[in-house]
Structure 1
């Protein structure tokens, strides 16, 4: 649908316009037995509305509908929702003059929006029409936009406001509309998926959304911010947002880069998790140094598992924010502790909600996040039916569940899934099973028995599959992919989790992974640019641990990059950060999403993959 937009619901000017339209019709004389009503100007608006309802009760169908509509407009203006609903209940649109018949639907939709019921409102609204006045079409577009904003459909809400301009009377009204659009964009949650959906919309709508992205992003430095602004101006030349709003966007972005000055970093530095903890720490420090080394970072060891005393020691130093811990069970423990109002960026996902009063954000390289992105990518490629091979492990189960839920929510189907033993070397059993090759052999045996001869036979796999979802580390995937080919599935696309690549490019070793598609981090994929430069610097400083944990270095790097957003209360607006693990954004519930890029094995080496 092409009509939508944000607006203050039923502004007084619009309600007054409705009253004027109604009052232009002749008013019936009161019955002889009824006293003449007071002049309208002598009554309060509420008394006027009540008097109109009284008159309507004794009037014929046409006059009753007209008077009720006029009363409803007044009640709406006064915020008397229930009275407005009662007034509209008796309005018969067919009894109204032709130019007013759309007004009851508009008022009902606006009332539903005022009560927070966007779906009924969107169902009530008619599409704009040449049969309606410009003012009526402008109200319809405004109501569409508000409904779409309320359900979170940001791209189409913006489109509705853009389309609304065609019905506005002058440049001043258009400027007001654009200012309202911009204000809503600065307040609305942003996510990368919104920009993907907007690709089908017009350039003006896309330009507004990209301008909001620019304003709400966190930039490495002022030069990067100015380069992005110049790129926007060139790509959207002639866009209405270039006049004034672009400067505001640059200013908004400039306000989002102030990091906290005292950071408590809680990571394992000893014990069994010391090596991963140190990789995260070094990535964090690399981002801090790149940002100029402003402020103080104090590292606290959580390797011995005693968290309460560690947190109390950190709080005694009055930090601006606590970052960590890394292990999930410690995040759960911290979520139950008071932190004296100090916000926390946990580096894993808690299994429960944080206690009241604890400001906890959660950033994790979770299998669920990745699996949902795989489902979205497959569906967008037209691959809607999947078979899956996942390990018998918690990681495999979580990946499978998240992928299946997202694919099915979008309309896809999981045809079959099988688990495999992660320690095995032969995966032919689950592969034959998921491809239904054993069923093909069973059918051949039945035909052989029926005919009494052995006809030529080649097993056939099921033919209703669009792609294979593979959750496997690189060493296992190198064995499964050739076995899929052996079992007649060489033509099926394989989309894998990021563990399919261990971070060390080796074309000869990974030749069997050819053509596998998987989500990857810019830290691994980028060959040039600031992220690639930092990665090379880190690799020179810590070659052994970086080769072993490249994605954990990226994770630590991005944890620091998030701090300016969280320190500036960016939770509500969800700024976007182009960074090492992908495009980061803060959801309203405090979890941090990261939209990864896509890679495909080409010549045994991961290379950037095009968007579908």
Structure 2
């Protein structure tokens, strides 16, 4: 079924959506310590592997990527910055090195070589702030099927950004993917045939993988999830995947000089994926994972294992569990000596919370959150003041995600062509790496007196 929305439908939807939403409310010069022979050797080995990447495929290619990332992770900041700046244009290592720099919050020496893959000539000239949206935008979402519930807040967040913009806006059409790989491929083909010059979506992991499997895409895509491979050149991917929370938490602890972590992850898919990503990132950057515990929603008595981890020198805890599970774990962690140590959760920590008396057990645990729900963003009302159902409660995060998808589409050229440019979004501060992946720096919050409280300075 074709679920395209015409302009007449959008004009009717705009005032309803907005009324509900607003109810109640260059070249870098690098200096630093001299590189060690070990760091230079690791960087050189990574360069050799990157040059061999083009001749690999399948599992061999995936393992080669992991080894490149491990080698670069072992290199200190000064060496990574200095040696990256020396790489010539077109060097295959630069995309990997640049991604490592961005993950550490370090500046790029120059734009990524992938910038040449993008073409914005069909768009009218950019505004002074870089605003340059497409001419005809297609949005691929599962408007029916099992993923329709998740798609609704994404759609409404996107439209809130779209209708909130007073400058030129593209024609916009929505296509139903029905939540299937075949549906996504069909929807993409119909969008291209209808003359779209940019596509947002699809949303499901299998959908994204199916569209990316087409190889070189006729019309560029901003996918809304991770596929089983990186976006094809000239395309981009944006996600709120559990892996992102694991990577973010690892960098948080490393940035606070924590070197030995205890990992406690839920036995569900989100918990396992976040825990795995944390372990890989933390260990590749020189950290040590003392132990990894997989727990159910009712974890039981873990006192012996927690005490053993503390005795082994764990200086921090990563909690990839929901709030209710964390409330049961917190007293055990305190008794084992972790009460005063760094404890970092994922965005799941806020799930199942809201009762101050119970949530006081979570006091001191830090977790990533969206900028909009924690401290607000310009252009949107306070999250607590909206009457739009798809922007409240657990759906608020997906609403912010959809809002950011629109902003990325409109400011994509600026992110691609200007190194070290960031976009302030509702889910966090956004950047683009050399592989087309949107990197997100979230806001940080902690529980204080049983209430989630933003951390001053962002964490």
> Do Structure 1 and Structure 2 share a fold, with TM-score over 0.5?
yes
Structure 1 counterpart SS, 2:258: coil
Aligned partner of 2:137 in structure 1 is 263
Aligned partner of 2:404 in structure 1 is 558
Question: Is the aligned partner of 1:416 residue 2:281?
Answer: no
Q: Cα distance 1:377–1:340, how it changes in 2: closer, same or farther (>3 A)? A: closer
Structure 2 counterpart SS, 1:254: coil
Question: Is the aligned partner of 1:510 residue 2:359?
Answer: yes
Structure 1 counterpart SS, 2:357: coil
Equivalences for residues 17-32 of structure 1 within 5 A? none
Q: 1:165-200: per-residue Cα shift (whole Å, max 9, x none)? A: xxxxxxxxxxxxxxxxxxxxxxx96998589558xx
Question: Is the aligned partner of 1:277 residue 2:151?
Answer: yes
Q: 1:568-610: per-residue Cα shift (whole Å, max 9, x none)? A: 6826746310111111001111011001121111111122224
Q: 2:259 aligns with which of 384, 405, 415?
A: 384
Q: 1:374-412: per-residue Cα shift (whole Å, max 9, x none)? A: 112112222211111112233233222221222223322
Aligned partner of 1:370 in structure 2 is 245
Aligned partner of 1:296 in structure 2 is 171
Question: Is the aligned partner of 1:313 residue 2:190?
Answer: yes
Q: 1:288-328: per-residue Cα shift (whole Å, max 9, x none)? A: 11222712211111125223322222112111211111100
Answer 1 or 2: which has greater helix percent: 1
Aligned partner of 2:333 in structure 1 is 484
| Distance (Å, rounded) in 1 between the aligned partners of 2:82 and 2:129 | 23
Q: 1:332-374: per-residue Cα shift (whole Å, max 9, x none)? A: 110123676210011011112456xx63211111222221221
| Distance (Å, rounded) in 1 between the aligned partners of 2:208 and 2:84 | 38
| Distance (Å, rounded) in 1 between the aligned partners of 2:211 and 2:444 | 34
**Greater RCO, 1 or 2 (C-alpha within 8 Å, sep 6+):** 2
Aligned partner of 2:442 in structure 1 is 596
Query: Could you tell me whether the CA contact under 8 Å between 2:164 and 2:379 is conserved in 1?
Result: no
Question: Is the aligned partner of 1:432 residue 2:304?
Answer: yes
Q: Cα distance 1:345–1:514, how it changes in 2: closer, same or farther (>3 A)? A: same
Structure-2-length-normalised TM-score:
0.69
Q: 1:242-272: per-residue Cα shift (whole Å, max 9, x none)? A: xxxxxxxxx9982621111211111111122
Q: How many angstroms does 1:279 deviate by? A: 0.8
Query: Could you tell me whether the CA contact under 8 Å between 1:504 and 1:547 is conserved in 2?
Result: no
Question: Is the aligned partner of 1:325 residue 2:202?
Answer: yes
**Uncovered stretches (5+) of structure 2, i.e. residues with no partner:** 1-27, 32-42, 48-75, 87-96, 112-124
Q: Cα distance 1:117–1:286, how it changes in 2: closer, same or farther (>3 A)? A: same
Structure 2 counterpart SS, 1:153: helix
Structure 2 counterpart SS, 1:399: helix
Question: Is the aligned partner of 1:497 residue 2:355?
Answer: no
Aligned partner of 1:533 in structure 2 is 381
Give aligned pairs, total: 366
| Distance (Å, rounded) in 2 between the aligned partners of 1:558 and 1:312 | 24
Structure-1-length-normalised TM-score:
0.53
| Distance (Å, rounded) in 2 between the aligned partners of 1:149 and 1:157 | 12
